[in-house]
Amino acid sequence: MNDQKIRRPRQADIATLAGVSVSTVSRVLANEPGISESVRRQILKVAAENGYPVKPASEAVAGGLALIASDGVTGTLSVFYEAIVDGLRAGAAEAGMPFEVRLVREDRTTPDAVRDHMQTAGAEGLFLVGIDPNEMLRDWLQASMTPTVLVNGTDPRMQFDGVSPANFFGAYEATSRLIKAGHRRILHLSGSHRHTIRERVRGFEAAINAVAGAEGRLVSLALQGSASREAHERTAEALAENAGFTAAFCMNDFIAVGVLEAVTEAGLRVPEDFAIVGFDDLPCALMTNPALSTMRVDRAALGREAVSLMLSRFRNRTASARHICQAVVPIPGGTVPNI
């Protein structure tokens, strides 16, 4: 009598015995993250008892620490960074990466301070959120080969991985929206030491220079108090000069709110007499009358992409640095005609 051939159990059999879906069994057997530990143990137990081959679990993912500039979080851009941190947390959870966030003052990001933060957090990878590393920190990060990702940041030397909005191209498109609407004398209200903001200035200037007869003026803001209030004051000054400026591209939506208030108080109609384009697509853009025309930054996507860069850096710590730009999308509003 021939021995009967024993059928190897299928994933569907394991799912039935464990009382879960086939897709859940598939994810557990592939060592994918995002499954509760109790469910994972149950499925592995059932699989082992029924002779289903199980791959050994992959090595644990190293931990990451995000340092975020406290002035950016507690100031007017808090909602901007809140969404980025949500993306970081979600990406880290999906990857099974232990993850912590800490507030720091940017002027106190010394090598010793950063080293202490990483040691107490048990982190191997560093996310610098809205922080451009100073020379001492750069030197230490490179010498120690600390996996580092600049989040909402760019490194002009291309020594560190980074992810940011397409600031140059987004600013170019924002300015072009005003030019297409017929404006030729355009203000750009901006103010920051950060490389990302300098890219927006470059995009504005490039769009102006691409059109014969167009003129742009950079209005530098100190940004030491309320960005909206300072933008209001500087716009009022520019309008009082009677220099013929009829539009403004603003570094962010908070600044655009101040510009809109100043223009309205001057008795100008928006967008008929004066047009405005903001940047970031923050919640305040929908609260103005009319609603702001702006440029959307997918902030949560920046955080998720940063985690992907960190995972790649963990796998190959000597690879060339990479910078990823996320597209910036025009959002229609009532402060510039839809062309």
Task: Say whether both 161 and 148 belong to one domain.
Answer: yes
Type of residue found at 51: G
> What tokens does 80 get?
């901007």
Task: Say whether both 123 and 175 belong to one domain.
Answer: no
**How does DSSP classify residue 106?**
G
Task: Say whether both 132 and 278 belong to one domain.
Answer: no
Q: Are 272 and 299 in contact (CB under 8 A)?
A: no
Phi, psi of 219 (to 5 degrees): -105, 105
Q: Is residue 176 part of a domain?
A: yes
Burial group, residue 323, by CB count within 10 angstroms (0-12, 13-18, 19+): middle
Task: Say whether both 103 and 250 belong to one domain.
Answer: no
Q: Is residue 154 part of a domain?
A: yes
- Which pLDDT score is estimated for 117? 96
DSSP string, 266-307: TT--TTTT-EEE-SB--GGGGTSSSPPBEEEE-HHHHHHHHH
- Which pLDDT score is estimated for 260? 97
Q: What's the rounded Cα separation, in Å, for the pair 166 and 80?
A: 16
Task: Say whether both 114 and 153 belong to one domain.
Answer: yes
CA distance readout (Å), 220 to 193, 230, 235, 259: 11, 10, 11, 14
Q: Is residue 289 part of a domain?
A: yes
Side-chain-facing half-sphere of 324: CA atoms under 13 Å: 17
Task: Say whether both 161 and 309 belong to one domain.
Answer: yes
Task: Say whether both 111 and 156 belong to one domain.
Answer: yes
Q: What's the rounded Cα separation, in Å, for the pair 159 and 140?
A: 12
Q: Are 294 and 331 in contact (CB under 8 A)?
A: yes
- Establish whether the linkage from the previous residue to 147 is cis, with ω within 30° of 0: no
- Which pLDDT score is estimated for 77? 56
Side-chain-facing half-sphere of 321: CA atoms under 13 Å: 18
Type of residue found at 10: R
- Which pLDDT score is estimated for 223? 77
Name residue 219's beta-bridge partners.
189
Task: Say whether both 303 and 161 belong to one domain.
Answer: yes
Task: Say whether both 114 and 39 belong to one domain.
Answer: no
- Which pLDDT score is estimated for 74? 40
Q: Which residue has the tokens 């939506």?
A: 253
Q: Are 284 and 254 in contact (CB under 8 A)?
A: yes
Q: What's the rounded Cα separation, in Å, for the pair 97 and 100?
A: 10
> What tokens does 330 get?
């025009």
Q: What's the rounded Cα separation, in Å, for the pair 189 and 167?
A: 15
Task: Say whether both 313 and 210 belong to one domain.
Answer: no
Domain of 134: which CATH number?
A: 3.40.50.2300
Q: What does the chain come to in residues?
A: 339
Q: What's the rounded Cα separation, in Å, for the pair 297 and 163?
A: 12
Within 10 A of 145 (CB to CB), how many other CB atoms are there? 10
Domain residues for the domain of 213 are 167-298
Q: What's the rounded Cα separation, in Å, for the pair 302 and 41?
A: 33
Assign 3-state DSSP to the chain and report helix, strand, coil percentages, each to 5: 45, 15, 40
Q: Tell which residue, 111, 112, 146, 149, has the closest CA to residue 130.
A: 149
**Average pLDDT of adjacent 10-residue blocks, the chain of 339 residues:** 61 90 82 70 86 66 91 60 94 91 92 96 95 96 96 94 97 98 97 91 98 96 82 91 93 95 96 97 94 97 96 93 96 89
Q: What's the rounded Cα separation, in Å, for the pair 37 and 158?
A: 39
**How does DSSP classify residue 181?**
T
- Which pLDDT score is estimated for 6? 59
